[in-house]
Structure 1
Amino acid sequence: MSSLAIQKRQHQTKPNSNQNPVYRILFLISLCHLFNDSIQAVVVAMFPILELEMNLTYTQIGFIGFSLNMVSSVMQPVVGLVSDKKPMPYILPLGLTLSFIGLIGLAFIPTYIGIIVSVTLLGLGSAVFHPEGSRVAYMAAGNKRGLAQSIYQVGGNTGQALAPLITAFILVPLGQKGASIFALVALAAVLCLIFVSRWYANHLKLVQKKNIKKKATDGQTKIMKSVIWALITILILIFARTWYLSAISHYYTFYSIEVYGFTIEKSQIFLFTFLAMGAVGTFFGGPLADRFGKKTVISTSLIATIPLAIILPHTNPIWAFILLTLIGFIMMTSFSVTVVYAQELVPGKIGMMSGLTVGLAFGLGAIGSVALGNFADLVGIEMMMMTISFLPILGMLALLLPKNV
């Protein structure tokens, strides 16, 4: 990327140095992100419950998760692209209303087709929420975009980390109907998002008054060849990170039971620690990027994980716990930073870039879950974990990213 192009892009994306983040909005949208992703976690947590109560096969269970994630991943860039052209502040509470309806269906519909329809509604709700939630974080960021995106994303990662606890304390004792409790969570999110949407709408009016030409300028953003290559690199990095995370999140429980002889409860503790430390890493990634640069955080996060991931399948349980803690924290410091990096590569397409990066993670997670499961069936769970441990090596490609965007 030429120095002139970099200077132009920095001018386009650099916020007012005197503008402070709107923390009340950032914390509120993060809370709603926690609500939304904990609702998504309910579906995964319900797998053993649905298998037992509805006598489903593993293939049927896998298709439930596939339906949820693929609908979300495909629709997120679409929602982002449409809202880039015409912002829709009040689509946020509408999205969580779809999730509310989906949860009611998930709790009370006794048929497999009904469950598929319900999780599809949940996927649509998530697809609406994520790009617009990321846009709100971007608008409320002020001069701390990395921190703002981290505050927003840590809510989602915390919600995902709750899945093992949801399984143990809610769904096991209550069964399928336990999902109805999270309908109340969806309602709470809808109420919070009505407030956020009002701020969003008012903020748009202020921006239009201050700079009438801004919308036209953003809508005509041209994507240069060097930017396209940078985006391709980012997408490859997301693939490597997401498939590794999918392997740990979906299959490390089975690995620890088979290799270490763990009980289900003990394996859930290991998984929860990994996911919880990932949420902590997500929070710290943004401030580190604001201080040291986005490329530095992305490359360090992924490259530093390489030796830890390779060692993990060859250790005893104590060291495995330590390594999972470190991997979860270090790898996820790049999560929110890659979103901001993509947004600043193409500053006029905030929603589409958010939908592309986060939505791709959902889609790749769905595909990875199926592909890794099939691979484990072929070669065994232990060999699958050993093979997937080399995937973070693709993180070396982060060194090729342009430094200044």
Structure 2
Amino acid sequence: MNNSVEKINNPIYPIMIAIAVAHLINDTMQAVIPAMFPIFKSDLGLTFTQIGLISFVLNIFASALQPVVGFVSDKKPMPYALPIGMISSFIGIAIIAFTTQYWVILIAVLFLGFGSAIFHPEGSRVSFMAAGSKRGLAQSIYQVGGNSGQALAPLISAYIFSVFGQRGAAMVLVVAAIGIVVLSKIATWYKQRLEQERLAKKKRVLVSTLPPLTKNQVGIALTLLFTIIFARSFYTTNITSFYVFYLMDHYDVSLRIGQILIFSFMAFGVVGTFFGGSLSDRIGRKNVILLSVVVPMPFCLALPYVPLWAAMIFLVIIGTLIMISFSVTVVYAQELVPSKIGTMAGLTTGFAFGMGAIGAMVIGVLMDHKGIDFTMMVVSLLPLLLLVAFFLPKDKPSSAV
């Protein structure tokens, strides 16, 4: 990956794609955990609360560390942290494939959380460095990799764990080894690019599409943005980790059929993520965020009450539209604070992990104490919080900057 002859400002598509592939592998390993929830419940006899705690430990650890990694890398980039993070995740998967002890599972997900915390801010930085003028597109390609990895969770559950059980997680180790090699190559390019920028005396700085804002206005905008991320992450965690139990209980479908329906939600979320970034380059970040709020709202509110055939359609619509803003919120945060690319990437993705962690814990407790139907009805109201998007500062399309 020697790109020393390329101009610093030009988009570098091979690197965009390579870091997206690495993101896919990283998040596939993360997806092993929710994919194993039905196995944990049936084979190990875990409660919904214990399952929620596993997700909580995984995501809250990643959440807490991501902003720290982003802040440190803003001051001193760490190219070779990328393969180190993947090695940590490799260790976590290796442990979880062969243990039946609950406390060992919790230790294993700490390794996975650490690997994720290292990867995401630095991966987002690589995407930014390779983007040139295509920031929205680059972030979308990067996030499509991650969301594709997460979307594999129900398929892994339906076609690997249902056949091989918990030991099936070992199959992911082969993919993890490939990821370590890919990230080692990217780290070499990353180091060379930093040297090019140093020799050219050109520090890469993001040009914001937002108007000049005071510190107070930036603080308010970030609060609104985090509220959006909170509601979206809490809601999508419910669908990806727990809605399969509702499908089996309420509609009497098999685990495999339920996981395929969850996959449809996540797969169309990947489609939305891909188009969201490039669309935001053309019509503005806020407009895309509003699109992801207004259109899916009635479908989210109605989902617990519709027949199975309608639920199948609603999952596709919600997945596509609610995730269209996934990469856009990261770029929007970076443009609010353009001097802190890694920190903002760490805060937004880390906050999303954290809210997913808290969401999993709360949903697990609710399902144990209030029942599956009640929990689904309560969570369906969460997207109403997304309406705060109307108060975000208006930005310009990238082409107008």
TM-score (norm 1): 0.90
Residue 262 (structure 2) pairs with residue 271 (structure 1) = yes
CA 1:202–1:57: 2 relative to 1, 3 Å: same
Residue 356 (structure 2) pairs with residue 371 (structure 1) = no
Partners of 1:170 and 1:324 in 2: how far apart? 23
**Residue aligning to 1:248:** 239
**Residue aligning to 1:106:** 96
Residue 317 (structure 2) pairs with residue 349 (structure 1) = no
- Segments of 5+ residues of structure 1 without an aligned counterpart are 1-16, 216-221
Residue 305 (structure 2) pairs with residue 305 (structure 1) = no
Q: CA offsets, 1:311-358, max 9 Å, x none?
A: 222221111111110110001000000000001111111111111111
Q: CA offsets, 1:196-243, max 9 Å, x none?
A: 11111111112222236779xxxxxx9812111111110000011111
**Residue aligning to 2:209:** none
Deviation at 1:161, TM superposition (A): 0.7
Structure 1 vs Structure 2 CA RMSD: 2.0
Residue 307 (structure 2) pairs with residue 316 (structure 1) = yes
Alignment of 1:166-315 (within 5 A): 166-211=156-201, 224-315=215-306
CA 1:143–1:375: 2 relative to 1, 3 Å: same
Partners of 2:193 and 2:380 in 1: how far apart? 45
Deviation at 1:384, TM superposition (A): 2.4
Residue range with higher mean Cα deviation, 342-351 or 177-186: 177-186
Residue range with higher mean Cα deviation, 40-49 or 29-38: 40-49
Partners of 1:402 and 1:331 in 2: how far apart? 20
**Residue aligning to 2:55:** 65
CA 1:58–1:400: 2 relative to 1, 3 Å: closer
Does the CA-based 8 Å contact 2:144-2:274 persist in structure 1? Answer: yes
Q: 1:93 aligns with which of 83, 96, 105?
A: 83
Partners of 2:56 and 2:139 in 1: how far apart? 27
Does the CA-based 8 Å contact 1:91-1:128 persist in structure 2? Answer: yes
**Residue aligning to 1:11:** none
Partners of 1:282 and 1:352 in 2: how far apart? 21
Deviation at 1:54, TM superposition (A): 4.2
**Residue aligning to 2:373:** 382
Q: 2:387 aligns with which of 377, 391, 396?
A: 396
Partners of 2:380 and 2:51 in 1: how far apart? 26
Q: CA offsets, 1:28-57, max 9 Å, x none?
A: 100011100010111222233344544444
Does the CA-based 8 Å contact 2:48-2:365 persist in structure 1? Answer: no
Residue 135 (structure 2) pairs with residue 145 (structure 1) = yes
Amino acid at match of 1:252: Y
Does the CA-based 8 Å contact 1:303-1:392 persist in structure 2? Answer: no
CA 1:206–1:48: 2 relative to 1, 3 Å: same
CA 1:212–1:315: 2 relative to 1, 3 Å: closer
Match of 2:295, SS state, is helix
Partners of 1:265 and 1:182 in 2: how far apart? 20
- Segments of 5+ residues of structure 2 without an aligned counterpart are 1-6, 206-212, 397-401
Residue range with higher mean Cα deviation, 281-290 or 365-374: 365-374
Does the CA-based 8 Å contact 2:9-2:132 persist in structure 1? Answer: yes
Partners of 1:373 and 1:121 in 2: how far apart? 23
Partners of 1:100 and 1:386 in 2: how far apart? 37
CA 1:114–1:381: 2 relative to 1, 3 Å: closer
Amino acid at match of 1:149: Q
Does the CA-based 8 Å contact 1:223-1:346 persist in structure 2? Answer: no
